[in-house]
Structure 1
């Protein structure tokens, strides 16, 4: 048993406490409402970008929930050196969406899962060497990459607002219906976020999507004929490599950089979680906790690829819920994990959200992706912006946003090169690392 530390002011239940069942379930439900949409959104975006059918989309959503539950349990429970042992919730990562879509368009779902499995050891290795890698992936570099993640995904959000790829094909893209629904969702989320009621703020994205979904239904945008009676009674059995797996070097390179950055983000998230939970943020115990958290982050992403899902990462927003509720008990994490696993085992959950029109998703994701970009700007602005930093920022954004705006710039290159550099996140991130290491600007 780990040694307990003194609880900070405001914490009602520390990480080793077992709250009463009522308090546990209430806290777990709040965490679930805050993360549910974020967990399923990457799978929905990737599926819609690849024009996958309803059954396959529903399965990917279900596996996202199931794997998030497994990953959360591993982080909270802590198995030996694996896991951080905090109330640390994991979910499908937004950071990988750009590279995954590029890989998927080149080689389909099996190549995506292969890249996720192949790249995961990168983060696992980083868990033992993160002290040294922080000299290469500095806060400036990680801030630029986070900014590029948000900026490149805004385009994805706008496409969803207009109705998605299906609307483009049918000629209804940007219709009044699609734009109205996405606007209602966006405004609902924004207004709820401004509320003084902490519970409305925490569930703002979920509630906004429900409002948009209901509106879309009454506008005749939801095709319920896709439902069948067996959807309500069937059961998902997670099977390793159910959708196949393929490996190649170019897809690995395209995704490996994102794993590096995710490791740095996970370090920050575990640090923040330790701080709000009253645990030390320096010393041997802290280093072991961070190392275990990042190691579990990588391992969980490998498990995700094996079970036909996408890479996972620690969710930062749950740290805010710990502060609001005063409940830091990792025992609550077991209940969150159980809820996610149960939801993932029933196909009907995935199908309901797969039927959701792209415009509904677009209204929420546009705001979410803008928030990601803003987080990157905050990280960059927290650093000293001398001439070198400004030059690194300018070069990285130019290359990263450049390939996003004009992907045909790589048209003459071999397919392997296009797979690696077609994502602005990968291109801009690599340029940021190299330029930050090479440039020597004298003031």
Structure 2
């Protein structure tokens, strides 16, 4: 829908604080007057903006945001239509702060989950380093989000950095399969340390290798941002991007369930990890114990109840509310160890902990493919945010938003790697907040970025997530990872199921599912153990590609999409569009 729609324009003006008829507002803000009045008029406007009741509160119905969806409280808002604030509309200051916090809260689950999975499930890092990685993820997410919302124009070029939308940026989950497979490989070959009984020990150097390799490979995504979106869509159609999202979600649900059962360390573990999460825990239990499963269900069920009965503010932060309930129940029943929280610093920042950077040849190909996939997979999220923000979703300006978003993600990953954090990607998880509150203003995005940075600086905040029982974290992760799989299904739902597309999906998903159900099927194929370091690194890279579900599926899908002819078949004639006419496959 175009942003120039008369009905939307009328609605936007109705809620815009810049309405000239406001008698209490200085004339300096009317059209063209800012230049004419000069510095005094600007100061007069600033004084009015910071002290006026109208600028702080406006006419927004704040009670709507906190009214639960429970009869009879919800009767008043049964047919309520929230006012719409566009990208550049002036939003009441209080509403901007509330919604900025709301956007930040809705991101917490997706920000903390990757570093916690990396630290605990892949590299077995100590609690202090885990807490630091969570804080670093918040800080770098805030910086990348601010850059995305601002939309910086590259001088004397048609290119931008950022979408200029209320787009949020957070750690990508796509790094997790690579990290898990890579550390598994390093523990097997002895380059990551283990205890005499075989128990994995912390391996920070492996994370340093991923960071160093990311710094070398992220440039491919930065370069891809200058490729026209139509070309990217032709090479990476929805049949490819949808399948990789689906595979990432399914793969990670298994990892989330490992935590839900108690911890991935203690599933079949012995010695210190014979019980979950370890023998030193306040209440160690065996993996899958009913009490541990119950703790995870408190999170999952709470999310469902909030979605059904919660107020608009509660619904858009249902994940963090579910996490809070799980933490509360587990705390009251004695499953928490407060020592890590007490030992955490009150404030922290980037580089409090550092890692020895290195470049591992085995990581180069998988990371290159991952960053190529990131450049394409963010496009549907940017489209969804643009559509719900009521701006054009086609044409030159929209293409520049896609270009700016891909470039911002690439630079965000570069900044994050320099700040010891995981790679970044644009996310559409905050679109529910925009839809429920009717606010797509960039002011709320800047406010959200500020809150994210502050959450990262306050060290105790990250320590809470680093100390929570794995079962509580697992309940949240299973929900979040399932949303990734659903996003893949949504994208695949846009695919026209011609014979050609069915064949591509069958082959790509077949191999991808094979990796998920039998992850060691390729372990005996390439087993070189000679003295040629370069050849050994190359074979490790091939193994990492083949054994990472979404990467091998993306490679197969892109290859088949490029080489298979677009010949029509009789099956294609039976595919109908919404008007009932046959759809022929002309492009993917």
Q: Same fold (TM over 0.5)?
A: yes
In 1, the alpha carbon distance for the partners of 2:444 and 2:183 equals 36
Consecutive unaligned residues of structure 2, counting only runs of 5 or more, are 12-81, 154-159, 187-204, 268-272, 276-285, 527-538, 570-588
Structure 2 residue 433 is the aligned partner of structure 1 residue 325: no
Corresponding position of 2:264: 165
Q: Is the 8 A contact 1:254 1:421 kept in 2?
A: no
Q: 3-state SS of the aligned residue for 2:313?
A: helix
Structure with bigger gyration radius: 2
Q: Is the 8 A contact 1:36 1:206 kept in 2?
A: yes
In 1, the alpha carbon distance for the partners of 2:514 and 2:85 equals 49
Shift of 1:189: 1.2
Corresponding position of 1:374: 486
In 1, the alpha carbon distance for the partners of 2:219 and 2:475 equals 35
Provide Cα deviations, 1:30-68, integer angstroms capped at 9, x if missing partner: 111211111111111111112211001001000000000
Structure 2 residue 329 is the aligned partner of structure 1 residue 215: yes
In 1, the alpha carbon distance for the partners of 2:110 and 2:262 equals 20
Structure 2 residue 186 is the aligned partner of structure 1 residue 114: no
Q: 3-state SS of the aligned residue for 1:410?
A: coil
**Structure 2 matches for 1:196-235, cutoff 5 A?**
197-228=311-342, 231-233=344-346, 235=347
In 2, the alpha carbon distance for the partners of 1:115 and 1:21 equals 43
In 2, the alpha carbon distance for the partners of 1:213 and 1:227 equals 14
Corresponding position of 2:246: 147
1:125 to 193, 202, 223: 223
Structure 2 residue 499 is the aligned partner of structure 1 residue 387: yes
Shift of 1:212: 0.8
In 2, the alpha carbon distance for the partners of 1:289 and 1:33 equals 25
Q: 3-state SS of the aligned residue for 2:170?
A: strand
Corresponding position of 1:71: 144
Shift of 1:256: 2.3
Q: Is the 8 A contact 1:30 1:202 kept in 2?
A: yes
**Structure 2 matches for 1:26-425, cutoff 5 A?**
26-49=98-121, 50-80=123-153, 81-105=160-184, 106=186, 108-129=206-227, 130-168=229-267, 169-171=273-275, 172-195=286-309, 197-228=311-342, 231-233=344-346, 235-239=347-351, 242-412=354-524, 413=526, 414-425=539-550
Shift of 1:145: 0.7
Q: Is the 8 A contact 1:151 1:369 kept in 2?
A: yes
Provide Cα deviations, 1:125-151, integer angstroms capped at 9, x if missing partner: 221113212111101111111111111
Corresponding position of 1:23: 95
TM-score norm. by structure 2 comes to 0.71
- Please state which structure has a larger fraction of its residues in helix: 1
Shift of 1:304: 0.6
Q: Given the superposition, is the C-alpha separation of residues 199 and 227 from structure 1 closer, same or farther in structure 2, using an over 3 Å criterion?
A: closer
In 2, the alpha carbon distance for the partners of 1:275 and 1:321 equals 14
The higher-RCO structure (CA 8 Å, 6+ apart) is 1
Q: Is the 8 A contact 2:512 2:553 kept in 1?
A: yes
In 1, the alpha carbon distance for the partners of 2:442 and 2:4 equals 14
In 1, the alpha carbon distance for the partners of 2:554 and 2:134 equals 28
Q: Is the 8 A contact 2:375 2:406 kept in 1?
A: yes
Corresponding position of 1:433: 558
Of 97-106 and 153-162, more deviation after overlay is shown by 97-106
Shift of 1:355: 0.4
Shift of 1:79: 2.0
Q: Is the 8 A contact 2:336 2:468 kept in 1?
A: yes
Shift of 1:416: 2.8
TM-score norm. by structure 1 comes to 0.93
Consecutive unaligned residues of structure 1, counting only runs of 5 or more, are none
